[in-house]
A and B are shown apart, each in its own frame.
Chain A
Amino acid sequence: MSSESRNLEARTFSGLPGAASPTLARRNTNERLIAILLAVLTWGGVAILMVLLGHIVHEGYKYITPHFFTNFASRKAEIAGFKAAIIGSLYMIGLTILLAIPIGVAAAVFLEEYLRKSRLARFIELNINNLAGVPSIVYGILGLMLFVRFFNFQESVLSAACTMALLILPVIIISAREAIRAVPAGIRHAAFAVGATRWQVVSHHVLPAATPGIVTGVILAVSRAIGESAPLLLIGAAAFIRFAPKSPMDRYTVMPVQIFSWLTKPQEAFHQVAAAGIIVLLVLLLALNAVAVIIRMKAEAKYKW
């Protein structure tokens, strides 16, 4: 009798949340502490980012003038411009995209849709994943030996674009493969069932459905390439150049290299010019990401499963 009442007591005890149970109270406190900690860390990170951005904008805004976009580099901070670097970056990225997207997407399609799962396939996959983590300077050395010297492209935009394409290929292949894998098998089966060939299945159904994912991966990869300076310094991006590239074989500079060469100058005014350059680079990156979001939303609206 007494044991039964104790049991009953215990049951009601544990059934009341937040009541006098010491372990439950401790767990609730812990839960609240963790939530607070996570919020502090998140907002702390955002706050630091905001402080940095605020500092950059504060430093550089007065050099964002129309002539900053139309002038070439100069030893005088007041008339120094970003034109060669902006055009150089866009030229290089354009070529990089032309080179990297077809190869990257083709590789992803082959690996996902054509190649049978085998030891070789796993070996290739492992290597691609590893390549994605190789430091960019290593690609610079490769680019110097292969494109600048061996193919004799010299210090041209083409050398830079080839090197950058190699740099971002692993990222593009990995994200494209994931996007292709996410397309439901039912879509493929349905297409095969009505007699489509493998290439028809891929080109009519799988690739269009995977486009949002592929585009996101490409934009992320391109954002990385546009911010690289180390490999390009190695393969001959110029510190001082007063013309914009007109052909793929022309000399060039890019935004991060120009910013770097301004930052290493002794004059304080040039550090502010560099800040202005950073603002332009950030705006361009945000614009690229916005384009990715728009393409993604449009493509996703078309495919629902």
Chain B
Amino acid sequence: MNKRFLIKAAVLAGLAGTVLAGGAALAALKGNINIDGSSTVYPITEAVAEEFMGANPGVNVVVGISGSGGGFKRFVVGDIHVSNASRPIKKSEVEKCAANSINFIELPVAFDALTVVVNPKNDWCDSITVAELKKIWDQGSTVKNWSDVRPGWPNKPIKLFGPGTDSGTFEYFTEAINGTSKQSRADYTASEDDNVLVTGVAGDQYAMGYFGLAYYEENSGKLKALKVDGGKGPVAPGKDTARSGKYAPLSRPLFIYVNGKSAQREDIKAFVNFYLDNAAALSEEVGYVPLPDSAYKTIKNRFNSGKFGSVFSGKDTIGLTIEEVLAAEK
């Protein structure tokens, strides 16, 4: 009886301790954080949210995937606290923010390398120049066969696979390759689901497609990534070449945008700081290229000093290196 009582007391004391400790954490941080936007940035934010909620059970983080444009549509009216974006905010979106008196803080969180892929049975093509890519993908392109791209390549029809027009990947690729965002030939197989593109290219010897590095790395057995020659010789896509800025012009910065008023809230402040502290490890884990540690420090300072506005909006971010991102942040 006595023994049992002691055990019970011990268990109770232990429970009380846990509850108190948990209670302290709960009391410290409580709230709902609404995030929406790019499906490219989603895996990083998802990973951060998962870890953050593990450490702060009182905070509920909800992440949606309505695309970079869809996220900004909700961000500029104040529906959401944080917007994921695989491209900088547009001038028109900045104007809408101003009209609704919404301030925002712009935070680069990682890099992605857009990867041009072909079928592994394609033995004639290992690298491709930006000019050749433009010839294939530009609006009004007359390329029908591989031989139209470079003499000596087979006289077989080229099958093209690419993302749909609502995706940030499409906007970035067309701007980097064709010169104008959203200017592209339209007669290719388009899908918002990158796995459909993977399956398409993996199933046809004469296919070509493009999407984010993570989808290539998960399917590297079924696909062959092309080296891209941006004028300084062919460079293979990969974390190292994206980090060093050599893989140009197809590496791109990924952002989160935080509502200025929300950034005053303790839970959101903690979340964004947690994001920047862990973005390096977590973005790498889900297949992206982290910024250097020093960059995250600079960006964290930027956030905590509450600098509003965009340094990337309306500027040419094509082929931006991490150093340039950093310089822009300072």
Contact = CB atoms under 8 A, between A and B. Distances in A.
A56 to B, nearest CB: 16
Given A240-B42, A243-B60, A263-B193, A74 B50 contact: yes
A236 B64 contact: yes
Contacts of B286: 75
A239 B219 contact: no
A73 B54 CA distance: 12
Interface in B203-222: 212, 214-215, 217-219
A75 B66 contact: no
Interface of B: 32, 34, 39, 42-43, 45-47, 49-50, 53, 60-66, 192-195, 212, 214-215, 217-219, 285-287
Given A251-B32, A263-B193, A268 B62 contact: no
The binding surface of chain A is classed by DSSP as: loop
A233 interface: yes
A209 to B, nearest CB: 46
8 contacts: A75-B46, A155-B34, A238-B62, A242-B61, A251-B60, A263-B195, A264-B194, A265-B43
A2 B63 CA distance: 95
Contact of A75 (B50, B53, B217): B50
Interface in A218-255: 233, 236-243, 251
Given A264-B39, A267-B218, A233 B66 contact: yes
Interface residues of A, number: 22
A74 B63 CA distance: 12
Given A233-B66, A251-B60, A240 B49 contact: yes
B186 to A, nearest CB: 22
Contacts of B218: 266-268
Contacts of A237: 64
A261 interface: yes
Nearest to A237: B64
Contact of B64 (A73, A74, A239, A264): A239
Contacts of B287: 266
A304 B168 CA distance: 62
Contacts of B62: 238, 240-241, 251
A271 interface: yes
A242 B194 contact: no
Contacts of B42: 239-240
Which of B32, B42, B46, B61 neighbours the largest number of chain A CB atoms within 10 Å of its CB?
A: B46
Nearest to A268: B218
A271 B215 CA distance: 13
A240 B63 contact: yes
